[in-house]
A and B are shown apart, each in its own frame.
Chain A
Amino acid sequence: MNVVRDVVRVRGLVKHHGQGQSRVRAVDDVDLEVPEGQTLAVTGPSGCGKSTLLHLLGGLERPTDGEIWLAGRRVDTLSERALARLRRRSVGFVFQAFHLMDELSAAENVELPALLAGRSRREARRRASLLLDRVGLAGRARHLPSQLSGGQRQRIAIARALANDPLVVLADEPTGNLDTAATREVLRIFEDLRGAGHTLVIVTHDERVAATADRLISMRDGMFVDDTRLAGSHPRGLGGLIGLEG
Chain B
Amino acid sequence: MEVQDAVLAMLAKEPSHGYHLRARLRQSLGPLGESMNPGQIYVTLARLEKAGLVVCERADGLPERPERKVYALTPAGQQRVAAWLAEVGWPKPDLAEFHLKLVAAAAARLADPVELVAAQRRELLRRLREAQRAVLAEPARSAAGLLLEGVVLRLQADLRWLAACERAWSDAAERADDE
Contacts and interface: CB of A to CB of B under 8 A. Distances in A.
Interface of A: 181, 184, 187-188, 191, 207-208, 210-213, 216, 226, 228, 230-231, 233-234, 238, 240-243, 245
Contact of A212 (B127, B133, B156): B133
Interface of B: 91-92, 118, 121-122, 125-136, 140, 147-148, 151-152, 156, 159
11 contacts: A181-B140, A187-B136, A211-B129, A212-B136, A226-B118, A234-B126, A234-B130, A238-B131, A241-B131, A242-B147, A242-B151
Contacts of B125: 207, 210-211, 216, 228, 230
Given A211-B125, A226-B118, A240-B91, 9 more contacts: A184-B136, A210-B125, A228-B122, A230-B125, A238-B131, A241-B130, A241-B131, A242-B91, A242-B147
A228 B119 CA distance: 10
A233 B156 CA distance: 20
B129 A241 contact: no
A116 to B, nearest CB: 33
A97 to B, nearest CB: 24
A213 B156 CA distance: 16
Contact of B132 (A212, A216, A231, A240): A212
Nearest to B133: A212
B118 A230 contact: no
B87 to A, nearest CB: 14
Contact of A231 (B129, B136, B148): B129
Contacts of B151: 241-242
Contacts of B152: 208
Most chain B CB neighbours (cut-off 10 Å) among A191, A207, A210, A233: A207
A212 B140 CA distance: 18
A207 B130 contact: no
B126 A188 contact: no
Contacts of B130: 234, 238, 241
Contacts of A245: 91
A228 to B, nearest CB: 5
Nearest to B144: A238
A231 B129 CA distance: 8
A208 B132 contact: yes
A187 B131 CA distance: 13
Nearest to B160: A207
B118 to A, nearest CB: 6
B126 A241 contact: no
Contacts of B91: 240-243, 245
A180 to B, nearest CB: 9
Given A212-B136, A242-B91, A207 B128 contact: yes
Contacts of B135: 184
Contacts of A241: 91, 127, 130-131, 148, 151
A211 B136 contact: no
Contacts of A242: 91, 147, 151
B129 A191 contact: no
Contacts of B92: 243
Contact of B136 (A188, A213, A228): A188
Contacts of B133: 191, 212
